Amino acid sequence: MEYFSGKFDIAVVGAGHAGIEAALAPARMGRSVLCVCTSLDAVGNMPCNPSVGGTAKGQLVRETDALGGEMGKAAEYACLQFRMLNRGKGPAVFSPRAQTDRMAYRAYMRHALEAEKNVTLRQGEAVSFDRTETGWRLYLRGGAYYDVSALVFATGTYLKAKTFTGDVVREMGPDGLAAADLLSASFTKLGLELRRFKTGTPPRLDGRTINYEGLSEQNGDEDEDGFVFAENKAPLSNSQKCYLTYTNEKTHEIIRSALDRSPLYNGTIDGVGPRYCPSIEVKIVNFPDKERHQLFLEPCGKDSVEIYVQGLSTSLPEDVQLNMLHTIKGLENAAIMRPGYAIEYDCLDPLCLDASLSIKGFPGLYAAGQLCGSSGYEEAAAQGLIAGINAALFVSKKEPFVLKRSDGYIGTLIDDLVTRGTNEPYRMMTSRCEYRLVCRQDNADARLMEKGRELGLVSEKRLAETRAKEELVKEEIKRCESTVLPPSQKLNDLLVSRGTSPIEKNGATVAELIRRPQITYDSLAEADEKRPVLPKMIRELVETEIKYAGYIKRQLGDIEQQKKMEDFVLPDDVDYSSIITLRIEAREKLGAVRPRTLGQASRISGVSPADIGALTVWLSHRGDKK
């Protein structure tokens, strides 16, 4: 029996990493939000890696924080170990990462939702949705229905989910939770294309059965700033160690001999898996000459013995998983606590979305996270934040909030999905962001926090801290540019010891010395006696801005040039099929994607520069007539 259960401004379906941000953002913007999830005990669950951040993903977390999101705060609260990845490379790819306590993370996020006065948290399975005269109606299994102005779907890997461990195939979601079997039909009813994607997990081990002796230790980095831009924070926890081990030829032989029992190779799995995070079976088949693959042994919690084996994602049968584990150094006697499995699920073609993450043609419907074809907690949280913000703006009858590629990784992520689409689970990488030297992890607050403040998601105090930090950086750069260090034995000995030439009688400014590849800001501490005492992040920002000033200037110039195309808004009523000067493929692609701007049109696969030129000419003639 159906029964009316309430009315809200917005309903969010799902309370994973996308759903949490999608619920918190509009609630903090003053909107009433219903958040529905299949299990209250799985709010903020980490069914895969118990970590947050990493290469390119850490940038997403920092940008999410700068806009007022919650993921960075939860990750710092639950932190077991913190590292800054890619320190051996340039600052454009420095990426923060935290190993987290998955139970503590989950508890933090559930409390965050429960503590938000405008959020109502509800356990239940969303089974369908329909339009009403004033918005949308969401139905739950059991008969309850809710009337809302906007709906945000953040269903993760639950839609018609199936898990695979060898020949054991079960219709269920991650971590043994119930799948959502009925909701897909409502998307199909709207005429939206659904596809099947796949992802996987490794076995989780009992840490007491692992021999860590002789394995490489992976320790955390001290004196790092974490994800959250805030002053006077407590130091990050680095209480836990991770360890590094490797597969070997015996491991590979066991895997090769069992490929006929792998759902990936015997035709059991139909879904498309991620290219950049493949299962161990795929690694062995695709890289037959590679002698070993690295595996990271990572703790799942401070009060748990469970160990996650990063790099060993698999859907092989349990007995094969155990046999291959026992060939690996340190894991000779390892006991499995949770077998690895692959999971297959329904998701949307992201080309059905616009840059606000609204589903085209259906005002008030939004999607975020793995439903949009992406993979990863961080990608999901970033999309959830944007979808939630735009749902709130839609209810308020305000213009949508859209980030450009030049605004950062979140803008790049969403633009890639809605403009280029994806035929496999999309993963963010630093190489995808063409402006990565400008859009670094350390300046996400300077780039985005003012936008967060305008949306009502960032406090004036936090914004003031950011502005003060920017001013400190500018003042110190100015001082470095104007402070001349005269030649001295002490300074020249320092320079020579670092492999660079001594300075001549006229001396050199601090900035000129920092621009030398061998010299860092901190290495000049003894010689630069007038330098102020500054926090590590400020010192690193100063060094980066000075050392890479030329490259940064060039990228800013590229951004300014591209801005003209990004500001060129395309009319909504263009019939691309009628523009005969466009190639047939371009007409089809432009008509399918319906880009918002000329810049977005230029990034559609199959649309050439010549097509953009033809479209521009056509629009200029059309402008004379209309």
SS3 at position 460: helix
Got the DSSP string for 445-458?
HHHHHHHHHHHT-S
- Do the beta carbons of residue 144 and residue 3 sit within 8 Å? yes
Beta pairing class for 484-485 and 336-338: unpaired
* Dihedral sign of CA atoms 534, 535, 538, 543 in order: positive
The residue-averaged pLDDT of 466-476 equals 96
Phi and psi at residue 526, to the nearest 5°: -70, -35
- Do the beta carbons of residue 614 and residue 587 sit within 8 Å? no
Tokens of 501: 């030439």
Helices (H), 483-608: 489-497, 510-514, 536-547, 549-566, 584-593, 598-602
pLDDT computed for residue 17 by the predictor: 98
Say which DSSP state 416 is in.
I
pLDDT computed for residue 220 by the predictor: 93
pLDDT computed for residue 626 by the predictor: 44
- Do the beta carbons of residue 25 and residue 154 sit within 8 Å? no
- Tens digit of pLDDT for each residue in 427-453? 999 999 999 999 999 999 999 999 999
Q: How confident is the model at residue 416 (pLDDT cuts 50, 70, 90)?
A: very high
Tokens of 254: 């066991």
pLDDT computed for residue 316 by the predictor: 97
* Dihedral sign of CA atoms 529, 530, 535, 541 in order: negative
pLDDT at 551 over 80: yes
Instruction: Calculate the dihedral angle through the C-alpha atoms of 613, 616, 617, 621, rounding to the nearest 10 degrees.
Output: 170
Beta pairing class for 119-123 and 33-37: parallel
HSE on the CB side for 99, CA within 13 Å? 27
CA distance 378 to 246: 27
CA distance 41 to 63: 28
Q: How many residues does the chain have?
A: 626
SS3 at position 306: strand
Helix (H) or strand (E) holding 130: strand 126-131
Q: pTM (2 decimals)?
A: 0.95
- Do the beta carbons of residue 349 and residue 187 sit within 8 Å? no
pLDDT computed for residue 277 by the predictor: 80
22 closest CA partner among 176, 191, 199, 148? 148
- Do the beta carbons of residue 596 and residue 358 sit within 8 Å? no
Burial group, residue 355, by CB count within 10 angstroms (0-12, 13-18, 19+): buried
Burial code (b: 16+ CB inside 10 Å, e: under 16) for 570-604 equals beeebebeebeebeeebbebbeebbbbbbbbbbbb
- Tens digit of pLDDT for each residue in 477-489? 999 999 999 999 9
CA distance 118 to 33: 6
- Do the beta carbons of residue 6 and residue 140 sit within 8 Å? no
* Dihedral sign of CA atoms 34, 39, 40, 46 in order: negative
- Do the beta carbons of residue 74 and residue 448 sit within 8 Å? no
pLDDT at 18 over 50: yes
The residue-averaged pLDDT of 36-59 equals 96
Helix (H) or strand (E) holding 110: helix 102-115
- Tens digit of pLDDT for each residue in 345-392? 999 999 999 999 999 999 999 999 999 999 999 999 999 999 999 999
86-91 own/partner pairs: CB under 8 Å, 24+ apart: 86/55, 90/437, 90/548, 91/437, 91/440, 91/442, 91/540, 91/544, 91/548
- Tens digit of pLDDT for each residue in 54-107? 999 999 999 999 999 999 999 999 999 999 999 989 999 999 999 999 999 999
CA distance 623 to 626: 5
- Tens digit of pLDDT for each residue in 487-540? 999 999 999 999 999 998 889 999 999 999 999 999 999 899 889 999 999 999
CA distance 233 to 304: 27
Residue type, 375: S
Say which DSSP state 92 is in.
G
pLDDT computed for residue 566 by the predictor: 87
DSSP strands (E only) in 14-143: 33-37, 51-53, 79-85, 95-100, 119-123, 126-131, 136-140
Burial group, residue 496, by CB count within 10 angstroms (0-12, 13-18, 19+): exposed
Helix (H) or strand (E) holding 365: strand 365-367
| Count of other CB atoms within 10 angstroms of residue 321 | 26
- Tens digit of pLDDT for each residue in 170-186? 999 999 999 999 999 99
Report CA-CA distances (Å) from 419 to 14, 70, 350, 403, 415: 25, 27, 8, 14, 6
pLDDT at 625 over 70: no
Helix (H) or strand (E) holding 611: helix 609-625
pLDDT computed for residue 477 by the predictor: 97
Q: What is the mean pLDDT of the chain?
A: 94
Q: How confident is the model at residue 592 (pLDDT cuts 50, 70, 90)?
A: confident
Phi and psi at residue 357, to the nearest 5°: 70, 20
Phi and psi at residue 150, to the nearest 5°: -145, 150
- Tens digit of pLDDT for each residue in 202-252? 999 999 999 999 999 999 998 888 999 988 788 898 999 999 999 999 999
Residue type, 393: L
CA distance 44 to 46: 7
- Tens digit of pLDDT for each residue in 251-304? 999 999 999 999 999 989 888 888 878 899 999 999 999 999 999 999 999 999
The residue-averaged pLDDT of 108-119 equals 98
- Do the beta carbons of residue 156 and residue 170 sit within 8 Å? no
CA distance 540 to 441: 12
34 closest CA partner among 156, 148, 133, 119? 119
pLDDT computed for residue 622 by the predictor: 75
CA distance 520 to 526: 12
Domains of the chain, start order: 204-340 (2.40.30.260), 460-553 (1.10.10.1800), 568-625 (1.10.150.570)
Q: At what angle do helices 584-593 and 609-625 cross, to 10 degrees?
A: 70
pLDDT computed for residue 623 by the predictor: 56
CA distance 33 to 35: 6
Tokens of 77: 């609260």
Phi and psi at residue 21, to the nearest 5°: -65, -35
